[in-house]
Amino acid sequence: MIIKKIKEFEENGYTILEDIIPTNEVRLLNLELQESADRFGKNNNGVTYLATTINFCQSFDKYLIHPDIKHLMLHYLGEDYRISSTSTQINEQNNKKGDWHADWPFCVFNGGNINKPFPKKVLHITCIFMFIDFDKEVGSTLVKPKSHLLETNPTFEGDPYYGDYEDQINIKGKAGSVFVMDSRLWHASDVNKSNKRRTSLVVRYAPWWLNLEVFRPNSFDRKKIIEEKNKFGSLYPSVKKNAFSKINDEVKPLFEHWLEK
Ligand SMILES: O=C(O)CCC(=O)C(=O)O
């Protein structure tokens, strides 16, 4: 099964892993994530967002190393891969449509990007854990299949692109599934036309050697590459010691590099 998923990931730039979180737990986790994001997050353009969610809620920890996810990460990122971010993203009813982009480090709008032409190598993997069924109605992620094979993306064109592509599709998957993409894949947030909150947890995985310092509050690289140049750059607060102590022992190594000093 996982061999088929790897083939899909390679060909299309993404795959869907089903049944990662059991149905009975999805509902509880959805509520827990919503509660944390409402309390500690912020809302921008109709999207409620909470960076470094692992600081506020640890109950999803074991799913981060589900055997299927682990298999994929080991295959592409090698041993000692780690987690670069855990962000709750709730697309509220009628949120603003997002621009087409690839994720960091391939996105010009997110400081510390690498230049085109991109290397033909998986450098970063974005996983979107679904807490409700994903379909067009709820504004599931829009993707342009196979775009991970291109050496560029629309963020290199200057103005953000909010239009359509002929071959774009909305990701479909049941709650408890994970949409896994090569961070080079062109994608965008769609509009949630339902009356449900589209809860997702966006978790990114990186090889140990990928420099993540631009995300770290007050780091030398962040000051030099983002702040002094007045650029936008995602900021991921450190993992608090108290939160870290509550993480499953097998999952801890994925967060050690981001533990507060
Ligand atoms: O809202 C979505 O489905 C896409 C989120 C997104 O663009 C991202 O996490 O980079």
How far is the centre of ligand 1, averaged over its atoms, from the C-alpha of 189 (Å)? 5
Domains of the chain with CATH codes: 2-250 (2.60.120.620)
The whole-chain average pLDDT of the chain stands at: 98
Mutation probe of ligand 1 site: the residue of 107, 187, 198 with most atoms within 8 A of C-beta = 187
142-194 pLDDT tens trace: 999 999 999 999 999 999 999 999 999 999 999 999 999 999 999 999 999 99
41 contact partners, CB below 8 Å, separation of at least 6:
48, 49, 50, 51, 88
Tell which residue, 107, 202, 203, has the closest CA to residue 157.
107
Query: What is the spatial distance between Cα 194 and Cα 94, in angstroms, rounded to a whole number?
Result: 8
The helices-and-strands tally (H runs, E runs) of the chain is: 5, 10
Q: Quick one: residue 245, left, alpha or beta (phi over 0 = left, psi -120 to 50 = alpha)?
A: alpha
Confidence of residue 6 (pLDDT cuts 50, 70, 90): very high
Average pLDDT over residues 98-116: 98
Query: Does residue 69 have a pLDDT over 90?
Result: yes
Portion of the chain with pLDDT greater than 90, in percent: 100
Q: Please list the residues that pair with 188 across neighbouring strands.
A: 142
* Smallest CA separation from ligand 1 atom 3, residue: 141
52 lines ligand 1 (CB under 6 A): no
38 neighbors 173 (Cβ within 8 angstroms):
no
**H or E segment and range at residue 206:** strand 198-206
Query: Does residue 1 have a pLDDT over 90?
Result: no
Q: Around 249, how many Cα atoms within 13 Å sit in the side-chain half-sphere?
A: 0
Alpha-helical runs (H) found in the chain: 2-12, 23-40, 67-77, 220-222, 241-246
189 lines ligand 1 (CB under 6 A): yes
Q: Given this model, what pLDDT does residue 58 score?
A: 98
Q: Given this model, what pLDDT does residue 207 score?
A: 98
Q: Given this model, what pLDDT does residue 43 score?
A: 98
How far is the centre of ligand 1, averaged over its atoms, from the C-alpha of 207 (Å)? 21
CA 7 to chain centre: 21
Query: What is the spatial distance between Cα 208 and Cα 246, in angstroms, rounded to a whole number?
Result: 23
Q: What is the pTM of this model?
A: 0.98
Describe the strand order of the beta sheet including 82-91 as a list of residue ranges.
14-17, 178-182, 125-130, 198-206, 82-91, 47-50, 42-44
Q: Given this model, what pLDDT does residue 125 score?
A: 99
Query: Does residue 45 have a pLDDT over 90?
Result: yes
98 lines ligand 1 (CB under 6 A): yes
